Amino acid sequence: MENFILYEEIGRGSNTVVYKGRRKGTINFVAILCTDKCKRPEITNWVRLTHEIKHKNIVTFHEWYETSNHLWLVVELCTGGSLEMVIAQDENLPEDVVREFGVDLITGLHHLHQLGILFCDLSPGKILLEGPGTLKFSNFCLAKVEGENLEEFFALVAAEEGGGDSGENVPKKTQKSRAKGSLTYTAPEILRGADFSITSDLWSLGCLLYEMFSGKPPFFSETFSELVDKIFYEDPLPPIPKDPSLPKASSDFINLLDGLLQKDPQKRLTWAGLLQHSFWKDAFARKDQESSPEDSNVRKVMEHSGTQDSKEFLKPSSGQAKGEKSVKNPTELRPKSTAGGQPNESMFLLSSRPTPRTSTAVGLSPGEDRTQHSPQKTSPSTKNTSEHLSQQDLESQMRELIYMDSDLVVTPIIDNPKIMKQPPIKFDPKLLHLPAHSVDKLVFLKDQDWNDFLQQVCSQIDSTEKSMGASRAKLNLLCYLCVVAGHRDVATRLLNSPLSLFFSIYRRAKVARVIGLLASHTTELQENTPVTEAITILTELIRENFRNSKLKQCLLPTLGELIYLVATQEEKKKNPRECWAVPLASYTVLMRCLREGEERVVNHMAAKIIENVCTTFSAQAQGFITGEIGPVLWYLFKHSTVDSLRITAISALCRITRHSPTAFQNVIEKVGLNSVINSLASAICKVQQYMLTLFTAMLSCGIHLQRLIQEKDFVSTIIRLLDSPSTSIRAKAFLVLLYILIHNHEMLLLSCQARLVMYIERDSRKTTPGKEQQSSNEYLSKCLDLLIHHIVQELPRILGDILNALANVSGRKHPSTIQAKQLKMCLPLMPIVLHLVTSQVFRPQVVTEEFLFSYGTLLVRLMASEEFIKITLSAFEAIIQYPILLKDYCSTVVDYILPPLVSLVQSQNVEWRLFSLRLLSETTSLLVNQEVGDGKKEANVNFDSNLLALIRDVLLPQYEHILTEPDPVPAYALKLLVAMTEHNPTFTRLVEESKLIPLIFEVILEHQENILGNTMQSVIALLNNLVACKDSNMKLLYEQGLVRHVCDLFTETATLCLDVDNKNNNETAAALLFSLLDILHGMLTYTSSVVRLALQAQKSGSGGDTQAAEDLLLLSKPLTDLISLLIPLVRAHLFVRLSDHC
């Protein structure tokens, strides 16, 4: 599982969490299920049934893993959610969609039945949707082979897990509850006790089809008993869609449901009848239902996979038994674990990029899947380094992220309540003098009826009658047209009909409103539609009556909607049309409406028109790009007291800048950069979002670049925006910071000090709360992705600059001015390294072999301030907290990092000496223990020899001085000796040859008053290793007083253990006592061995050295005094065990 990176959580159940994941080194995204081990029977069942199935309507299984606490299942990612979610969101689906979805369901279910697999628990929650809309069967936990007893299989798996030979010790009630699915979709014969069958699956299929169409299952009740009664005795009501506007169910569909929901399984539709049913419109006539060769293999396996040999699925290997076929890939049916067989939860890496750069799932190819049949193992070089991204590619991707969808949202100009509230439009059908067709009827009117309707409308409007009644009738007709103009299809037909009849009476405000509503809702504009004439007339009317504010408020929205309609149509057709050219006077009039002194509503309408039109890439948008547009919109933004107008003004400026960044540049040059930066502190989220977009657009073009990247207040303001609750604002703030860091890496230090790394980690861990925020979360992840990628690539450059600066002054007493300036510029950046290696996002990516080599070189050249050295050592201290990072770089650490650490041990600075010795001790312990744990001792001869030589030649000669220093120096030095003597028994001879044995006993004497201290714990552990080593010179140890020291230590430790009142130190004292018992056991073993040899020699008459044995017995005599302590200890131990048992 090391081959995968986890992204956000995409689902959760009672014992399962589903993550989006990615196979490292590829863009292959998968779904990764993390489930508690209590679900092992269900997950094992899922794997054994699907591990060889490859079908477009079945979620593909890739692989599975086991760690200490969880099972991990890697399957195909389906990005469209579940069928249950679709039904909940849409409430019901049209019959055509039900047919389309039903074809997928039947294709998948028929394939399973051909393989002899029964799904058994078919429900909407177990049907997933792929991006293009393909339905796939998922969650085979309760599926089974036809005729198999699933309860027995579950019991067998549970027994295997518990180490038993059978499932007899597993309660049958538990297994029965495991094998039950959703009652709502269960066939009546199953409720009566029959076994699952093909017909019971078809009943569940009928329930699904019914629910898709009506929005609810055919049988539903809050109580169990009532639901069972309905399933047994009631017929389902005809399916009725919740949306009354949708057509009713067809007779074919009702007939299909009736055949599937027959309570008698003998009368229920069979596969032959289902596939040939007229509802499907011959969808299955040309489908090839033959199984592939792979699926034939699955079928053969399934035919012989009854309960009697289900146990074979759980074994690492299995041969043929009783002539039956075994599984081809038995290792596939055992979950994999980490390399070395050590299950470890930390192997599942949290992604530094919570969402990938694409929302499309990419499935694994069969070839890739087959390569995963062996336990997974990836080198850290693959794990920690991301693909190199050139500066050009990086900036290209950044430019694509400047504007997001929510930056370019378009809302209506006409009847926009945020601009001006309009009274509701009403009409009297009795005064229309023409049929008051509903919108639905108008849409489906035939051409002749439509022409008749238009002729009636035109004749009534063209009427020359001047009476009050005629005027009221015309006004009533216009109100009717306003109502029906809100429908897209009707608006399109009306707008593209002859409008010349309206032009002569444009001075009627209600007519302008009709035209505006038609323009707002139409979807297609014909080239012969006289839109330009309408725009010209409206422009003239506004210009001639410019002081008539009410008339402007009536005409401006229509003018804006017409210009926006032309702009969208031109952008859609990708070629300018001369017939749609907007007169220059229109732009002039709109600019006048923006200026100071106009009414707020007029300002707002003009700004809204510019906002909408400049969303498009069209000639109409270019007409607004002038030298004054930026400052004018900025003035509206700064001086308006209405939030909606301020947002519209800054949004319009943002969209103008998309076409011409100089618009925002003109604003900065007129009002000053500080004033613009201060606007980022606005309390309105939308304003902050647009301001960040403006700065990003300006930085991408290099405008005011040098000034902004040096402005610390600007950087601090941007980082403060990372506290925003808005995902979009945080994403854009990351993007602005990325532009700054690309051009000024010194700002990375300021950003790290302002908690940038913490913000990155927080947003990397965030999950998508719902589909409504999926877009903004994906946008955030893309921005984070690029920022993290840049910082990871920037770290080697920062280290390289520091190394160059130190190399240039190496050996010089007085560096030059340039060298001093370089040092002053580079060395303060060292805290960046510490910030990154202490981050769970950056640490796996930055700690590489190149990094460790540079770090070792840096340690060699340490000659800077104490703060610099402290930060440098702290960075490595952070790295060794995660031994897995160093797993494949042991030789690099030994060759390049440990030697300078050993040199620092000789430093005159006490703090450096202590810090480096502690790092040296802990690193050595990690390296040697890791090697033993991974079983690589024989394969790393060079590593062992280099490490041994370093300690022997450089470090051990200093131990005479080190062990006599005050605590905690001896503790760290002894800890290193403990690790080395455990790892390499030959190191014991080096300890003896270095004459350290007397020093070790001196340490005991000096620290015996604090027997529970770290120093004494280390020295006792070292003595234990020395005594346990077969090659130890025991005679030397006895000569130095081993017996006396052991007796004293044992007496004091035993006293502490037997002290009932002193419970705080009991655990430490007990651990120490066990070590002393091991030492005592080793001494007694050695003594008995020497005495036995002497007695054998004496008995054989070979003249053995009996005197040495007698002397050893005399030396060991004090050990007999410990019996008086051992007996109470035995009693105390038994009492503790009895208490624990009770």
Per-residue pLDDT of 396-446, as tens digits, reads 899 999 999 889 999 999 989 999 888 888 888 888 878 888 888 888 888
Q: Which two tokens stand for residue 719?
A: 């980082």
Beta strands in 1009-1078 (DSSP E): none
Catalytic residue among 121, 295, 763, 895: 121
Residue 404: Cβ-neighbour burial (10 angstroms; 0-12, 13-18, 19+):
buried
- Contact residues for 402 (Cβ-Cβ < 8 A; gap 6+): 693, 696, 697, 700, 735
CA distances from 58 to 119, 140, 782 (A): 11, 10, 30
3-state helix, strand, coil in the chain (%, to 5): 65, 5, 30
Least confident of 320-324, 621-625, 682-686, 748-752: 320-324
- Per-residue model confidence as pLDDT tens digits over 763-787: 988 654 444 456 788 899 999 999 9
Query: Comparing C-alpha atoms, which of 974, 700, 1009, 752 is closest to residue 871?
Result: 752
CA 877 to chain centre: 28
CA 82 to chain centre: 19
What is the pLDDT confidence band of residue 277, given thresholds at 50, 70 and 90? very high
The residues with which 9 forms a beta bridge, in sequence order, are 19
What is residue 783's predicted lDDT score, i.e. its pLDDT?
A: 94
Is the distance from CB of 802 to CB of 827 less than 8 angstroms? yes
Whole-number Å distance between alpha carbons of 541 and 598: 17
Average pLDDT over residues 204-214: 93
Whole-number Å distance between alpha carbons of 210 and 257: 7
Query: Could you tell me the sign of the dihedral formed by the alpha carbons of 391, 392, 395, 400, in that order?
Result: negative
Q: Which two tokens stand for residue 245?
A: 């506007």
Least confident of 25-29, 386-390, 1103-1107: 386-390
What is residue 912's predicted lDDT score, i.e. its pLDDT?
A: 82
Task: Give the type of residue at 229.
Answer: D
Is the distance from CB of 362 to CB of 29 less than 8 angstroms? yes
Is the distance from CB of 620 to CB of 567 less than 8 angstroms? yes
Q: Which two tokens stand for residue 209?
A: 């089809």
The residues with which 350 forms a beta bridge, in sequence order, are 6
CA distances from 1114 to 1078, 1086, 1090 (A): 21, 14, 13
What is the pLDDT confidence band of residue 333, given thresholds at 50, 70 and 90? low
Given strand 349-350, what is the order of strands in its sheet? 61-66, 70-76, 29-36, 16-23, 4-12, 349-350
Residue 22 backbone dihedrals phi, psi, to 5 degrees: -140, 140
Q: DSSP labels for 815-856?
A: --HHHHHHHHHHGGGHHHHHHHHT-TTTHHHH-SHHHHHHHH
CB count in 10 Å sphere of residue 990: 17
What is residue 296's predicted lDDT score, i.e. its pLDDT?
A: 46
Is the distance from CB of 901 to CB of 923 less than 8 angstroms? yes
932 has a pLDDT exceeding 60: no
Question: H or E segment at 62?
Answer: strand 61-66
Using DSSP, state whether 239 is helix, strand or coil.
coil
What is residue 1094's predicted lDDT score, i.e. its pLDDT?
A: 84
What is the pLDDT confidence band of residue 642, given thresholds at 50, 70 and 90? very high
165 has a pLDDT exceeding 70: no
378 has a pLDDT exceeding 50: no
Is the distance from CB of 687 to CB of 646 less than 8 angstroms? yes
303 has a pLDDT exceeding 70: no
What is residue 254's predicted lDDT score, i.e. its pLDDT?
A: 93
1056 has a pLDDT exceeding 70: yes
What is the pLDDT confidence band of residue 1131, given thresholds at 50, 70 and 90? low
Q: DSSP assignment, residue 190? A: H
Question: Among this protein's residues, is 713 annotated catalytic?
Answer: no
Question: H or E segment at 202?
Answer: helix 198-214
Residue 20 backbone dihedrals phi, psi, to 5 degrees: -85, 135
Query: Comparing C-alpha atoms, which of 175, 46, 187 is closest to residue 122?
Result: 187
Give the range with max mean pLDDT: 445-459, 705-719, 815-829, 876-890.
705-719
Is the distance from CB of 552 to CB of 545 less than 8 angstroms? yes
Percent of the chain surpassing pLDDT 70: 83
Is the distance from CB of 607 to CB of 382 less than 8 angstroms? no
- Contact residues for 881 (Cβ-Cβ < 8 A; gap 6+): none
455 has a pLDDT exceeding 90: no
Whole-number Å distance between alpha carbons of 562 and 576: 16
Q: DSSP labels for 918-950?
A: HHHHHHHHHHHHHHHHHT-TTT-HHHHHHHHHH
Q: Which two tokens stand for residue 325?
A: 């076929």
What is the pLDDT confidence band of residue 609, given thresholds at 50, 70 and 90? very high
Which is more confident, 14 or 365?
Answer: 14
What is residue 291's predicted lDDT score, i.e. its pLDDT?
A: 43
Whole-number Å distance between alpha carbons of 992 and 1025: 13
Give the range with max mean pLDDT: 137-141, 458-462, 800-804.
137-141
CA distances from 493 to 225, 439, 484, 523, 561 (A): 56, 12, 11, 10, 17
What is residue 650's predicted lDDT score, i.e. its pLDDT?
A: 96
Is the distance from CB of 319 to CB of 41 less than 8 angstroms? no
Whole-number Å distance between alpha carbons of 127 and 141: 13
Query: Comparing C-alpha atoms, which of 891, 978, 896 is closest to residue 931?
Result: 891
Q: Which two tokens stand for residue 174?
A: 């538990």
238 has a pLDDT exceeding 70: yes
Average pLDDT over residues 86-97: 88
Query: Could you tell me the sign of the dihedral formed by the alpha carbons of 283, 288, 294, 295, in that order?
Result: positive
Which is more confident, 392 or 351?
Answer: 392
Residue 684 Rama label (left phi>0; alpha psi -120 to 50; beta): beta
What is the pLDDT confidence band of residue 319, given thresholds at 50, 70 and 90? very low
Average pLDDT over residues 11-28: 80
- Per-residue model confidence as pLDDT tens digits over 986-1018: 788 888 888 888 888 888 888 888 888 888 888
What is the CB-side half-sphere exposure of residue 1069 using CA atoms within 13 A?
Answer: 19
Whole-number Å distance between alpha carbons of 336 and 65: 4
CB count in 10 Å sphere of residue 151: 21
Least confident of 237-251, 279-293, 920-934: 279-293
Average pLDDT over residues 684-702: 93
What is the pLDDT confidence band of residue 354, given thresholds at 50, 70 and 90? very low
Q: In angstroms, how far is the first alpha carbon of the chain from the final one?
A: 42
What is residue 379's predicted lDDT score, i.e. its pLDDT?
A: 32
- Model-level pTM? 0.62
Q: DSSP assignment, residue 951? A: I
Which is more confident, 20 or 104?
Answer: 104
Q: Which two tokens stand for residue 977?
A: 């000796």
- Per-residue model confidence as pLDDT tens digits over 1084-1102: 988 888 888 888 887 877 6
Least confident of 64-78, 156-170, 796-810, 1044-1058: 156-170
CB count in 10 Å sphere of residue 182: 16
Torsion angle, alpha carbons of 576, 577, 580, 586, to 10: 40
316 has a pLDDT exceeding 60: no
Q: Go through the chain and tell me how many residues it has.
A: 1142
What is residue 332's predicted lDDT score, i.e. its pLDDT?
A: 43
Whole-number Å distance between alpha carbons of 520 and 487: 10
953 has a pLDDT exceeding 80: yes
What is the pLDDT confidence band of residue 561, given thresholds at 50, 70 and 90? very high
Q: DSSP labels for 1072-1083?
A: HHHHHHHHHHHH
What is residue 473's predicted lDDT score, i.e. its pLDDT?
A: 83
Q: DSSP assignment, residue 893? A: I
Q: DSSP assignment, residue 895? A: I
